[in-house]
Amino acid sequence: MTESPKQGPLAGLVVADLSRILAGPYATMLLGDLGAEVIKVEGPQGDDTRTWQPPVRDGVSTYFLGVNRNKRSIALDFKDADDLEVAKRLVARADIVLENFRPGGLARFGLDYETVSATNPAVVYASISGFGSGEQGAKLPGYDLIVQAISGLMSLTGDPEGEPFRAGISVFDVMAGLHATIGVLSALNDRHRTGRGQHVEVNLMSSALSGLVNQSSAYVAGGTVPFRMGNSHPSLFPYEPLPCSDRDLIITAGNNGQFRKLVEVLGVPELADDPRFARNEDRTANRDELRPLLVERLATRTAMEWFDDIIGAGVPCGPINTVDGGVAFAESIGLDPVVTVGSGDAALPGVRHPIRFSDAEARYDLPPPELDEHGDEIRAWLQEDA
């Protein structure tokens, strides 16, 4: 199998990607970006997200394009004896196997951790599920939206007087993908010490409760059940959108020093010494009194006029952009958020890998593959040592 010309920090590792949809493919794309050779195993109909459209680019789902670069595709039907044998040879040679079948679903094919590790004891085998592999959780299908509802996130999202809302992305799929990546890299490091791999298990529900951070801690450690506050923060003020003369501006004064700088820029420095607002706990307790005082000053200028001055004073703030505005802002500050994936006629734009290294670089040489695009190449590679 032809190796990538780019050498990232994970170069030389082989990943057998038996996952589909989002959490698993996002994790394996991150590993591929960092140099691992990722072989995406798809069923005969392909990853479900190939059909999740609109939007599309050249007839291909942008959802699929967003999480499947730097991979080679092979289509295998595990119910076909010959295809299953190819899959078994692949996992036997892999450093990493990542799957998100329902817990126990791969055992009947001999592709579960116990069976694979018996012949490949060095394998790091990662499983992503909705609710874990325990007797009760394993029965539950795990879509991100279901976990957003069950975990409590939706109860925290939306207007206090309105209905619960889902987040604008499948946030726990992404979070579980990140946790799986962390788990895989941790197990690889442990393999250097022991020479053996291990089973890494991640589930969306646990990722959700961990990712709720201060909100889950409010209940677990403090006995307080948090509730949605719109765009307000339960423990900080100001930390929300505030209206200017033309549109809202997010202003976040996270400590007393930032609040003092903010009110100085706004032309009301006396508010920093007002006993109602002097400390953060005072400001949160008296937010209904402080908010109109800030809004009165903000209403005298546009959001971007205030943005320049408030940022200049060292207080975090920002406009509420659409996604195109977010990309444009990242470009304006030199983050180069858009990269070219692949070359020639197959090249397409993608979002830059979020991690930068001082002595390595992410790769963008393989555009998201067509279904079974590399099937013959992968079969020939596996046959070499058969």
Which residues are annotated as catalytic? 173
Q: How far is CA 146 from the centre of its chain?
A: 17
Say if CB 156 and CB 232 are below 8 A apart: no
The 8-class DSSP code of residue 369 comes to: P
- Return the closest-CA partner of residue 117 out of 241, 16, 234: 16
Radius of gyration of the CA atoms of the chain, in A? 25
Regarding beta strands 37-42 and 14-18, do their DSSP bridges make them parallel or antiparallel, or are they unpaired?
A: parallel
**What are phi and psi for residue 258, nearest 5 degrees?**
-65, -40
Q: Long-range contacts for 351-358 (Cβ within 8 Å, ≥24 apart)?
A: 351/66, 353/30, 353/33, 353/34, 355/34, 357/9
The whole-angstrom separation of Cα 94 and Cα 99 is 13
- CA 178 to each of CA 24, 174, 208, 326: distance values in angstroms, whole numbers, following the listed order: 9, 6, 12, 22
The whole-angstrom separation of Cα 333 and Cα 327 is 10
Segments of 91-148 assigned E as strands: 96-99, 124-129
Helix or strand (DSSP H, E) at 240: strand 239-243
